[in-house]
Amino acid sequence: MQRCPLRIAVVGAGPAGIYAADALAHQDAIPVAVDLIDRLPTPFGLVRHGIAPDHAKMRALRETLHHTLDHERVRFVGNVEIGRDLGLDELRRHVDAVVYTYGAAGDRRLGIEGEDLPGSLAATDVVSWYCGHPDADRATVEDAILRARDVVVIGVGNVALDVGRVLARSPGELVITDMPQHVLDTLAAAPVERVTVLGRRGPVQATFTTQELRELDHLADAVVLVDPADLELDPVAEELAAADRVLARNLATLRGWVGHSPALGRVSVQLRFHARPVRLLGTDRVTGLEVERTVVDAAGRATGTGELDVVPADLVVRSVGYRGHPLPGLPVDERSGTVPHEAGRVLREGVPSRGEYTAGWIKRGPTGVVGTNKHDARETVAALLADAADGVLRPAGDVDDLVDTLVARGLEPVLLSNWRAIDAAEAALGASRGRARTTLHDRASLLTAARAASAAAEGSAAANR
């Protein structure tokens, strides 16, 4: 008979992990106790550290996700890195099952000459910086942005548009966000005059959403430019656009900008298609990007025409996709950057591994929107619960509580009360600057705020003795 409750660790407290914890907590077939573990002291993953801060409505999703953290069957355990603070084998001995939902935080590379020059960054670097991620490389990113008059963003997905839009925003538009103060100060001082968002294929193959695209038309001090030649479609592309409402809306939006011209004192945001990056130019740092004109065949593949030109660039940001990395001891396919699985059951050497599951980007790759993770997590949880009902899961037995084990080895897990203290500290910091919130960006500040909750709890306990 299955021991009650079933002890489950969910590794990664982003949307995928929280949706998995929610699906587990809100079912009554099998009682569960869920530890939602994250290497950061804060929950919410890409909702906190990936969605652009000027997307206030989208970032407000964390209020919805917070309901799961409050559930009596769920315990948030932050500031614990599996594979470093606690080995995977150790974790598995503490619980009956593990669900890996730690995402795909690595960036994909272009593989072209000059990519490692100063002034060449991944979108993950820039996004982490302006979202206040504790691991962001402030010095490198700020040095690049403070030198950048001409910016090229390679990629035509939503993240590429986010980066271009944030860099083109006026200081007045950003001051109402929850960006860390050093980010606001750097962006206010940045000399950005031109932003080029570059796609190697045509507008029909771009992956941005219409909502993201239209936001470019509402920038206070920027003008969007499009070359009409880039919007000339072959019959196959015309057919694709006619059959897809999103593509049709995107094209209508792009065509509405064809008549725009550069304006003095306003940042130019150029959307350029059919341009394949060939190499980054420069000796000590980036000075330009050589691109090749492309044509797109009926299968959607881009082929170079041999026609080359140079786009001036002080800063090049590649936004060509994310990829997952393995935890020590967890298989990850080198090509796809995902954990091999069958309906969420982790496969080791082609066979389902007892008690191991996966969900989110590390399961399926960096696709979909935040809400896509809900359905994805439900599939995985259904497999886990079916295995539990069938007696497949092997009980961990009587072991010390996970948090007690972590504390005993000198670690400092951040629990829900600690996170609430961090949340309150960010709100207080924002209020002191006339804002709703200011993100605490470094781990030391986050842990200082977290310790305030622990000190208060200890003081309360002492007073009641």
CATH code, domain carrying 151? 3.50.50.60
Q: What pLDDT is attached to residue 457?
A: 53
Note whether residue 78 is domain-resident: yes
Count of domains in the chain?
A: 2
- For the chain, residues with pLDDT lower than 50 are 1-3, 461-462, 464
DSSP 372-416: HHHHHHHHHHHHHHHHHHTT-SPP--S---HHHHHHHTT---B-H
Note whether residue 430 is domain-resident: no
Domain that holds residue 25: 6-105+324-414
- Chain centre distance of CA 62: 14
The rounded distance, in Å, linking the Cα atoms of 306 and 193 is 29
The rounded distance, in Å, linking the Cα atoms of 19 and 25 is 10
Quote the tokens at residue 240.
């694709």
- 271 and 180, same domain (yes or no): yes
pTM: 0.93
Q: Which helix (H) or strand (E) holds 106?
A: strand 106-107
- 137 and 228, same domain (yes or no): yes
- 375 and 260, same domain (yes or no): no
Three-state DSSP state, 29: coil
Q: What pLDDT is attached to residue 335?
A: 86
Note whether residue 217 is domain-resident: yes
Q: What pLDDT is attached to residue 298?
A: 82
* Max Cα-Cα span within the chain: 80
- 276 and 364, same domain (yes or no): no
Q: What is the CATH number of the domain that holds 53?
A: 3.40.50.720
- 276 and 349, same domain (yes or no): no
